[in-house]
Amino acid sequence: MRWEQGIFLTHLINQTYRVTKCLHLLPFCVFLCNNTTRDREDYLEKEYFMTLAKVAAQRSKDPNTQVGACIVNQEKKIVGIGYNSMPNGCDGQLTWTGSEDGFDWPDTKYPYVCHAELNAIMNKNSADVKGCTIYVTLLPCNECAKLTIQAGISKVIYLSDKYNDTAVMAASRRLLDTAHIPYELKLNFDSINPSGMRNNAAAERDEEAEED
């Protein structure tokens, strides 16, 4: 009996030692948990997709207004990109003249040009664009707002609304509001402008030189 009690006590002491040793490691384990490498939270998302829309806009042959659009699905995958252009087969055959040049409407670009939103939807690489977000460099006009609604796009993010005071844009906003499709202008490219970063660095160096 005493022999069995001795074995039990020895086992109990060993277990107690192990528990005590583990308790000593507990602060270190907590430190590791709190300092585990996590995903970045300041990565670019909206700026990335809008940059692609801006690059697409540079493909436009319109000498006055270049617009680009990028459609992104709920998995943050690009499903369509477009820019304002003439219809297929009409390149070089129709004018890019604007109404400000004094021409009648049939002799301007407006009856013929395909807007960036239309081309992005037509260029889609998925079955549809329902639930997608469209990034466009200019707030969609009323015609593109109708197209956006009918295509099932759920959100519009735009970079400029320079025609904000026109009747066309008033109609566009009314359409989007009525269809409960949010549209927002919340991008700041200054924070990711490489030249701006260099200018800031140069300014800091100048300040340091003045202090010396």
Q: Where are the domains positioned within the chain?
A: 1-38, 46-191
pLDDT of residue 199: 47
Residue range 152-209, pLDDT digits in tens: 999 999 999 989 999 999 999 999 999 999 999 877 666 665 554 444 444 444 454 4
pLDDT at position 191 is 61
User: 60 and 73 in contact (C-beta within 8 Å)?
Assistant: no
pLDDT (0 to 100) of residue 126: 85
Q: Which CATH architecture has domain 46-191?
A: 3-Layer(aba) Sandwich (3.40)
> What's the pTM value of the predicted model, to 2 decimals?
0.72
CA 157/CA 71 separation, integer angstroms: 10
Q: Identify whether 117 is a catalytic site residue.
A: yes
Average pLDDT of every residue of the chain: 81
Cα(183)–Cα(161) distance, integer angstroms: 11
Task: Work out the pLDDT band at 42, boundaries 50, 70, 90.
Answer: low
Q: Which residue has the higher pLDDT, 114 or 35?
A: 114
Residue 66 · residue 83 · CB < 8 Å? yes
pLDDT digits (tens, 9 = 90+) for 89-124: 998 899 999 877 778 889 999 999 999 999 999 999
Cα dist from 151 to 23, 79, 93, 166, whole Å:
60, 13, 30, 24
* Mean pLDDT on 123-139: 94
Count CB neighbours of 156 within 10 A.
23
Residue whose entry in the numeric block shows the structure tokens 């801006």: 54
Residue 63, both tokens = 């000498």
Q: Quick one: pLDDT at residue 118?
A: 98
Query: In the chain, what percentage of residues exceed pLDDT 90?
Result: 57
- Out of 117, 184, 204, 211, the active site residue is 117
Give residue 36's pLDDT: 60
More confident residue, 43 or 133: 133
